[in-house]
Amino acid sequence: MSITRLRLLYATGLLFAVPLASADPLVSQGEYIYRAAGCHGCHTDAKHGGKPLAGGQALATPFGTFYSPNITPDAETGIGRWSEQDFLRALREGRSPAGDHYYPSFPYPSYTKLNAEDLHALWAYLKAQTPVKQVNRKHDLKWFARPRTFVGSWKGLYFTPGVYKSDALKSTAWNRGAYLAEAAAHCGECHTPRGALGGIKSGMHYAGTREGPDDSVIPNITPDKKTGIGRWRVRELAEYLETGMKPDGDSAGELMAEVIDNGLRYLHKDDLAAIAEYVLSLPPVEHSVRKAGKKPAKKEEFE
């Protein structure tokens, strides 16, 4: 090994003495996926001043309240003892290192579509984070959702493992947008209505629901002109995903503001445009999420 090479290694060593995550391109790539996948939002209890990724954030659903786990690299309370294989199995198969099924409140039905390269990078990013020792509350579920076997049957019905497959008939940008929306950003986990068993309703892709997490009404984001966002242009949707401002000047609130603040606004403009192109190319579904008897008049688009 030449002297120069040694010096270079020495310099690199010094660099890493101060933890500078982004110095490693793999970690930077992982951070990008971490933003796109919105890990931060659920795994950080921001409302109570929780540390990043230390978990404890509540997610209220019709099945009860889930409390997110600690995914910092702490050995006792986080994922510090996990191997990369454990991590891959969690995201691709929805199984814990001990082999238990995860509840689909962890959106592995989407993350299973992430490609190997991005998962490897995401793992590198998570490992590079500061460990936090924090034990979180157990899920507080309704009786019928408690048995883990319930999750096994659920997966049999609604979970299809496997990486995202490109559609050869569509453009590269469209496929990139589809990959980001379906595998990483997991838009459908909130925006697609679910049946009584919590499975995604077919034919209702992105059509919105009145029974969103935390008792929120989740809008229809299909390009239906009356009940969806069919009047938005690709550029407007891309801008919204970056800034949170809707074409009418209203701003994103609550859950979506969080998704934008901690995630989407960090994405490249090309990627946001790709997501917008993909979303607005989907089949429009006429489905109003507003109160019965309250017609979605033109004026209400502005509320």
Partner 1 sequence: MNQTHIRHRIFVTACLLAGAVPAVQSAEPEDIIKYRQNVMKSQGAHLAAAGAIIQGKVGYKNQLGDHVKALQASTRDIPGLFPKDSDFGETKALDAIWKNNADFQKRAKDTRDKVNALAKAVTVKDSQNYGARFKDVADSCKACHKDYRKEDK
- Contacting residues toward partner 1, per CB under 8 A: 212, 216-219, 243-258, 260-261, 289-291, 302-303
Q: Which is nearer to partner 1, 62 or 161 (CB)?
A: 62
Q: Minimum distance between the CB of residue 72 and partner 1, rounded to whole angstroms?
A: 24
Q: Minimum distance between the CB of residue 24 and partner 1, rounded to whole angstroms?
A: 30
Q: Which is nearer to partner 1, 140 or 214 (CB)?
A: 214
How far, in Å, CA of 230 to CA of 221, rounded? 8
Q: Minimum distance between the CB of residue 258 and partner 1, rounded to whole angstroms?
A: 6
Place of tokens 């190997």: 116
Q: Which is nearer to partner 1, 204 or 289 (CB)?
A: 289
Residue in 173, 184, 228 with CA at minimum distance from that of residue 205? 228
Q: Minimum distance between the CB of residue 148 and partner 1, rounded to whole angstroms?
A: 31
Cβ 208 vs Cβ 218: under 8 Å: yes
Would you call 37 helix, strand, or coil by DSSP? helix
Helix (H) / strand (E) element for 181: namely none
Q: Which is nearer to partner 1, 156 or 249 (CB)?
A: 249
How far, in Å, CA of 75 to CA of 98, rounded? 15
Q: Which is nearer to partner 1, 148 or 235 (CB)?
A: 235
Residue in 129, 198, 118 with CA at minimum distance from that of residue 159? 198
Would you call 19 helix, strand, or coil by DSSP? coil
Q: Minimum distance between the CB of residue 268 and partner 1, rounded to whole angstroms?
A: 17
